[in-house]
Amino acid sequence: MTESSGSSDLWNLTLQHSPIGMALVAPDGRLLMANPALAGMLGYDVDELTSRGFQEITHPEDLAADLGLVARTLEGEIDSFRLRKRYLHAQGQVIWGDLSAALVRSRDGTPLHFISQILDVTDQHQQEERLRRANADLERERQALEAIFETVGVGLLLIGPDGRYERMNRRHEETMRLPFPDGHDGHAGQLGHVYGLDGTTPLTKEEMPSQRAAMGEEFDDYAYWAGEDPLTRTAFSTSARQLRSASGQRLGAALAYQDITDLMRAIQVKDQFVASVSHELRTPLTSVLGYLEILGSRNDLPAQVVRQLRVVQRNALRLEALVTDLLHVGQADEGSLPLRRGPADLASLTRHAVEAVAAVAEEAGVSLEVDVPDRLDTVVDEQRMRQVVDNLLSNAVKYTLRDGSVTVALSEDDGTVRLTVSDTGIGIARDEVDQVFDRFFRGHEARDRHIPGTGLGLDIVSSIVAAHDGEVTLESRLGTGSTFRVSLPLTKG
């Protein structure tokens, strides 16, 4: 570039008013002239700035690169250069500048000065830096998720909004061969060797976990068996969550498959064990009770022996009740509970149950209130319904403190029999209410207070009520009391 004197006014005007920092820099680095924009950008006034060399206002780490380009330009290798570099502000902070420098030579080629234009790109640089950091964070997160996706001990599957399999981890890929030995078409709902918890009923398309998730359902711990051979079958517990964009649009679903075979087999073994032990205990116990009865009818025994025999008999009866409960559990497991239905008066059944528990209630200082009609005829398995009322009543008394009360109400309306047993007892924690009907479940409060129990009573209640096509519900508050409500369809004989 050569200088033209005709344009010097224009050049000066541009220099003064340009929003871009501009300077004339001597080949040795002295600033011959600087415009207000550059002075403002670096925090000096114009005179202060022109007394400095560009080396002074350049960040030391960027100096070498700048000097290198200056040298190459002076040597004639290049005419101009562009460099993003750091400047030092008068107050010490770093200013990022986008520098364009062009060398002006005299007619004989001697270097006169550089015309430098410097655009302040600090904001842009900070934005870029933020973006770079955000991208690095995202990438780290992606890598961490990827590692988790592949290393967790659960099968993971992502399906699209149309039910197509979009992604699965290796673990899930491996277990897919069990239900689908001939391959899978990559769409939710394909039928395979997948069975319900009884191990024999194949799941329908609508019951397949992938199909349920594809239809928009969310669920937890959905258990089933997979695999053709009953001996090598695997049990899975599956959970599903829907994926949505920030605007709420459905993106698909995520499913997690956990292998729970060991747990299921352990439960089977435990149930078989409970069933066979209770069966084996029953026979000798029946014999013990029979002989106790014979002994009880003798009147030649010393009074002390009679008292001792009564203790033995009471405990043998308790043992028998326990064995009966355990046997019941075994039967309920083998499918629906066999019922011996017959006409029964639930009102008198309830009154008898109340009478049976009255002595225990009195000893415990718990009052009993009864609201039962004269008669309530329906068709039920009387013995089992008695078990329902007995279990609810004995729990209510057992879990109620001295001076509390238990209320039993029976009624019929619109073809439905309603039995309510409520108490002012210790109550059940909110997060345990859903579990009290589970087999062997015992509440925290009951355990903490060392109130004896097996956790079988409510499991028995719910299985008997279900076998009668009824329903049992619970409402409870810790420290306030509990209300159990049984409803059964009224059946006329």
When binding is defined by CB under 6 A, the residue of 42, 326, 357, 396 that contacts ligand ADP is: 396
Cβ neighbours of 396 (radius 10 Å): 27
When binding is defined by CB under 6 A, the residue of 111, 442, 471, 491 that contacts ligand ADP is: 442
Shortest distance, position 334 Cβ to ligand ADP, whole Å: 20
Nearer to ligand ADP, 217 or 333 (CB): 333
Which residue carries 């698909």 as its tokens? Answer: 252
- Alpha carbon dihedral 452, 337, 199, 330, in 10-degree steps, equals 40
Nearer to ligand ADP, 380 or 428 (CB): 428
CB 25 within 8 Å of CB 33: no
CB 338 within 8 Å of CB 331: yes
Nearer to ligand ADP, 350 or 395 (CB): 395
Shortest distance, position 439 Cβ to ligand ADP, whole Å: 8
Shortest distance, position 361 Cβ to ligand ADP, whole Å: 13
Q: Applying CB under 6 A, does 390 fall inside the site for ligand ADP?
A: no
Nearer to ligand ADP, 58 or 350 (CB): 350
Let me know if 4 is exposed, middle or buried by CB neighbors in 10 A (0-12, 13-18, 19+).
Answer: exposed
CB 378 within 8 Å of CB 346: yes
Q: Applying CB under 6 A, does 457 fall inside the site for ligand ADP?
A: yes
User: What is the C-alpha to C-alpha distance for residues 71 and 140, in angstroms, rounded to an integer?
Assistant: 42
CB 486 within 8 Å of CB 467: no
Q: Applying CB under 6 A, does 436 fall inside the site for ligand ADP?
A: yes
User: What is the C-alpha to C-alpha distance for residues 25 and 100, in angstroms, rounded to an integer?
Assistant: 12
When binding is defined by CB under 6 A, the residue of 399, 410, 463, 488 that contacts ligand ADP is: 399
When binding is defined by CB under 6 A, the residue of 31, 95, 357, 456 that contacts ligand ADP is: 456
Shortest distance, position 409 Cβ to ligand ADP, whole Å: 15
User: What is the C-alpha to C-alpha distance for residues 210 and 208, in angstroms, rounded to an integer?
Assistant: 6
Nearer to ligand ADP, 325 or 345 (CB): 325
Nearer to ligand ADP, 395 or 487 (CB): 395
Let me know if 406 is exposed, middle or buried by CB neighbors in 10 A (0-12, 13-18, 19+).
Answer: buried
When binding is defined by CB under 6 A, the residue of 378, 387, 424, 482 that contacts ligand ADP is: 482
Shortest distance, position 353 Cβ to ligand ADP, whole Å: 15
- Across the strands, what pairs with 156? 256
Shortest distance, position 405 Cβ to ligand ADP, whole Å: 12
Q: Applying CB under 6 A, does 454 fall inside the site for ligand ADP?
A: yes
When binding is defined by CB under 6 A, the residue of 214, 361, 417, 428 that contacts ligand ADP is: 428
User: What is the C-alpha to C-alpha distance for residues 331 and 340, in angstroms, rounded to an integer?
Assistant: 14
Residues 6+ apart with CB under 8 A from 257: 154, 155, 156, 157, 172, 175, 209, 236, 237, 238
Question: How many Cα atoms occupy the beta-carbon half-sphere of 232 within 13 Å?
Answer: 7
- Among the residue ranges 28-36, 79-87, 344-352, 449-457, the one whose residues contact ligand ADP (CB under 6 A): 449-457
- Distances in whole angstroms, Cα of residue 277 to Cα of each of 222, 264, 272, 411: 30, 20, 8, 39
Structure tokens at 134: 């955000």
Task: Let me know how long the chain is.
Answer: 493
Termini Cα distance of the chain: 115
Residues 408-427 that bind ligand ADP (CB under 6 A): 423, 425-427
When binding is defined by CB under 6 A, the residue of 169, 211, 237, 395 that contacts ligand ADP is: 395
Structure tokens at 435: 């579990």
Q: Applying CB under 6 A, does 441 fall inside the site for ligand ADP?
A: yes
Nearer to ligand ADP, 226 or 357 (CB): 357
Shortest distance, position 468 Cβ to ligand ADP, whole Å: 18
Q: Applying CB under 6 A, does 455 fall inside the site for ligand ADP?
A: yes
Residues 6+ apart with CB under 8 A from 97: 21, 41, 84, 85, 86, 87, 118, 119, 120, 121
User: What is the C-alpha to C-alpha distance for residues 44 and 52, in angstroms, rounded to an integer?
Assistant: 11
- Compose the 459-478 pattern: x for residues touching ligand ADP by CB under 6 A, - for all others: x-------------------
Nearer to ligand ADP, 169 or 391 (CB): 391
- Among the residue ranges 216-224, 235-243, 411-419, 446-454, the one whose residues contact ligand ADP (CB under 6 A): 446-454
- Compose the 20-59 pattern: x for residues touching ligand ADP by CB under 6 A, - for all others: ----------------------------------------
Shortest distance, position 446 Cβ to ligand ADP, whole Å: 3
R_g (Cα) of the chain, nearest Å: 43
Nearer to ligand ADP, 158 or 426 (CB): 426
Q: Applying CB under 6 A, does 387 fall inside the site for ligand ADP?
A: no
Q: At how many degrees (to 10) do helices 382-398 and 346-364 cross?
A: 30
Total residues at the site for ligand ADP (CB under 6 A)?
A: 22
Nearer to ligand ADP, 191 or 337 (CB): 337
Residues that bind ligand ADP (CB under 6 A): 391, 395-396, 399, 423, 425-428, 436, 441-443, 446, 453-459, 482
